[in-house]
């Protein structure tokens, strides 16, 4: 039976399957993916075959038709893999980029793209951030101008996950330059290989090494009318709305990482000898780990509560923003302590904890920085 009251038998079956997959098909190989700077396409295909890429999508496309609780289970288990780059590669595809398609596509667009998204044949990316616009989404400058029936895109996008290797990009651009702030943004489906669309550079990062990240450039990139996603000039609201799911998922991933780091550290301190006993014999160490374990349980509870509220269709912007702020900071505090209790060994490249410390840092920034999330909470207090 689940330790989370909102989860069903199906959720726990999904969790078991994911845990087996991660143990058998991720952990033995992912050091090589880190060195390679990407998660291999075969692994993503395999996840498609096993149904992991369609957790949220209708059965007609090969999905499992679950709600945000299913996404939280997926994200928590991938977070527990200890390879944040692998986890984010998958979660951007399943829960941050492809939801744009699932929620706003026409029946024709769904039929064209959804089966290959669920099978892992086509990998997706979402391109909102620009060199001069991150937290402040409304100030993006990439332009789309009408040409004939279609549109022409000009501009650049920054820090785009799956940016090098994706097949489908959901790109936010200004379609009405005179509209104030949030109005006048539209989402376009840009297919890999489109004229005028290029990867400007593959970006090197502090962590998440098995995730590829890119700067993208659009120079007179023609987008045909059938690749406009959702209503023209309503794209800002689509981005904001999808952020809710994204932030639940990032919180769940962070709590999976944090819980796993504590487990790894417990194993270490129970074995490591110092001052005539083990590190676990030191009350200061046991109590710090106990404190962090309690905080992680609180974070998990908040994640699943927010996912449940979302699944009920309830307004949960406050709770989701709390999830993102709380879990993004907490995972970093946990990693700091876990690395501390590994001593010098935890500073060595090649240890799980060293990688997890690096991977965690972005959790307080990406998908909504802590300060921005706390403003969302404050507005609703």
Ligand X SMILES: Cc1cc2nc3c(=O)[nH]c(=O)nc-3n(C[C@H](O)[C@H](O)[C@H](O)COP(=O)(O)OP(=O)(O)OC[C@H]3O[C@@H](n4cnc5c(N)ncnc54)[C@H](O)[C@@H]3O)c2cc1C
Whichever of 133 and 301 has its CB closer to ligand X, that residue is: 133
Among 129, 194, 265, 339, binds ligand X (CB under 6 A): 129
Least Å distance, CB 88 to ligand X, is 7
Least Å distance, CB 23 to ligand X, is 26
Least Å distance, CB 39 to ligand X, is 14
Stretch that binds ligand X, among 2-10, 79-87, 125-133, 148-156 (CB under 6 A): 125-133
Among 16, 220, 371, 378, binds ligand X (CB under 6 A): 371
Q: Is residue 254 a contact residue for ligand X (CB under 6 A)?
A: no
Whichever of 92 and 307 has its CB closer to ligand X, that residue is: 92
Least Å distance, CB 346 to ligand X, is 23
Q: Is residue 216 a contact residue for ligand X (CB under 6 A)?
A: no
Whichever of 129 and 156 has its CB closer to ligand X, that residue is: 129
Among 161, 194, 253, 363, binds ligand X (CB under 6 A): 161
Q: Is residue 187 a contact residue for ligand X (CB under 6 A)?
A: no
Closest to 255 (Cα-Cα) out of 196, 323, 312? 323
Whichever of 136 and 226 has its CB closer to ligand X, that residue is: 136
Least Å distance, CB 57 to ligand X, is 20
User: Known catalytic residue: 12?
Assistant: no
SS3 362: helix
Q: What is the Cα–Cα distance from 368 to 305, expressed in whole angstroms? A: 19
Query: Rg of the chain over CA atoms, in angstroms?
Result: 21
Q: Residue 187, Cα to own-chain centre: how many angstroms?
A: 19
Q: What is the Cα–Cα distance from 313 to 188, expressed in whole angstroms? A: 26
Q: Is residue 239 a contact residue for ligand X (CB under 6 A)?
A: no
- State the DSSP H helix or E strand holding residue 155, giving kind and residue range, or none if neither: strand 150-161
Q: Is residue 213 a contact residue for ligand X (CB under 6 A)?
A: yes
DSSP class of residue 351 equals S
Asked if 185 contacts 170 with a C-beta cutoff of 8 angstroms, the reply is no
Instruction: Say how many residues touch ligand X, by CB under 6 A.
Output: 23
Asked if 269 contacts 279 with a C-beta cutoff of 8 angstroms, the reply is yes
Strand partners, 213: 161
Catalytic-labelled residue, pool 246, 257, 329, 376: 246
Q: Is residue 140 a contact residue for ligand X (CB under 6 A)?
A: no
Closest to 221 (Cα-Cα) out of 125, 155, 169, 130? 155
Q: What is the Cα–Cα distance from 71 to 251, expressed in whole angstroms? A: 11
Residues of span 52-111 touching ligand X by CB under 6 A:
92
Q: What is the Cα–Cα distance from 43 to 192, expressed in whole angstroms? A: 20
Stretch that binds ligand X, among 223-231, 249-257, 325-333, 367-375 (CB under 6 A): 367-375
Q: Is residue 377 a contact residue for ligand X (CB under 6 A)?
A: no
Q: Is residue 372 a contact residue for ligand X (CB under 6 A)?
A: yes
Among 265, 362, 373, 376, binds ligand X (CB under 6 A): 362
Strand partners, 169: 125, 190
Q: Is residue 365 a contact residue for ligand X (CB under 6 A)?
A: yes
Q: How far is CA 191 from CA 77, 224, 225, in A?
A: 30, 11, 13
At what angle are helices 84-91 and 68-79 packed, to 10 degrees? 160
Q: Is 199 exposed, middle or buried (0-12, 13-18, 19+ CB in 10 A)?
A: middle
Q: Is residue 208 a contact residue for ligand X (CB under 6 A)?
A: yes
Q: Is 210 exposed, middle or buried (0-12, 13-18, 19+ CB in 10 A)?
A: buried
Q: Is residue 240 a contact residue for ligand X (CB under 6 A)?
A: no
Q: 25: which 2 tokens?
A: 């098909």
Residues of this chain that interact with ligand X (CB under 6 A) are 92, 125-129, 134-136, 159-161, 205, 208, 213, 362, 365-367, 369, 371-372, 375
Mind telling me the catalytic residues?
A: 246
């Amino acid at each position: 039976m689940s330790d989370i009251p909102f989860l069903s038998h199906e959720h726990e079956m999904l969790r078991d399957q994911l845990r087996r997959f991660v143990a058998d098909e991720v952990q033995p190989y992912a050091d090589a993916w880190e060195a390679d700077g990407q998660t291999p396409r075969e692994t993503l295909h395999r996840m498609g075959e096993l149904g992991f890429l369609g957790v949220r999508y209708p059965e007609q496309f090969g999905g499992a038709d679950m709600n945000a609780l299913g996404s939280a289970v997926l994200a928590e288990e991938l977070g527990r893999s200890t390879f944040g780059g692998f986890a984010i590669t998958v979660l951007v595809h399943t829960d941050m980029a492809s939801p744009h398609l699932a929620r706003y596509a026409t029946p024709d667009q769904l039929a064209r793209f959804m089966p290959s998204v669920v099978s892992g044949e086509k990998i997706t990316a979402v391109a909102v951030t620009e060199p001069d616009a991150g937290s402040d989404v409304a100030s993006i400058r990439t332009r789309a101008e009408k040409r004939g029936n279609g549109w022409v895109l000009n501009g650049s996008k920054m820090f785009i996950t799956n940016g090098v290797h994706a097949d489908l990009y959901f790109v936010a651009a200004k379609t009405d330059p005179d509209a104030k702030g949030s109005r006048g943004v539209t989402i376009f489906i840009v297919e890999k290989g489109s004229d005028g669309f290029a990867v400007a550079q593959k970006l090197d990062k502090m962590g998440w090494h098995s995730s590829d990240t890119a700067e993208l450039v659009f120079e007179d990139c023609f987008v045909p009318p059938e690749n406009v996603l959702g209503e023209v000039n309503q794209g800002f609201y689509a981005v904001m709305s999808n952020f809710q799911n994204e932030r639940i998922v990032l919180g769940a991933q962070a709590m999976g990482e944090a819980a796993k780091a504590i487990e790894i550290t417990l194993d270490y301190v129970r074995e490591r000898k110092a001052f005539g006993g083990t590190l676990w014999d030191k009350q200061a160490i046991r109590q710090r780990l106990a404190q962090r374990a309690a905080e992680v349980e609180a974070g998990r509870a908040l994640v699943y509560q927010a996912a449940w509220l979302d699944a009920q269709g309830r307004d949960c912007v406050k709770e989701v923003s709390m999830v993102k702020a709380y879990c993004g900071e907490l995972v970093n505090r946990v990693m700091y302590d876990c690395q501390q209790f590994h001593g010098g060994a935890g500073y060595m490249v090649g240890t799980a904890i060293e990688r997890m410390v690096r991977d965690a840092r972005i959790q307080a920034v990406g998908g909504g920085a802590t300060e921005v999330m706390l403003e969302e909470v404050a507005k609703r207090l």
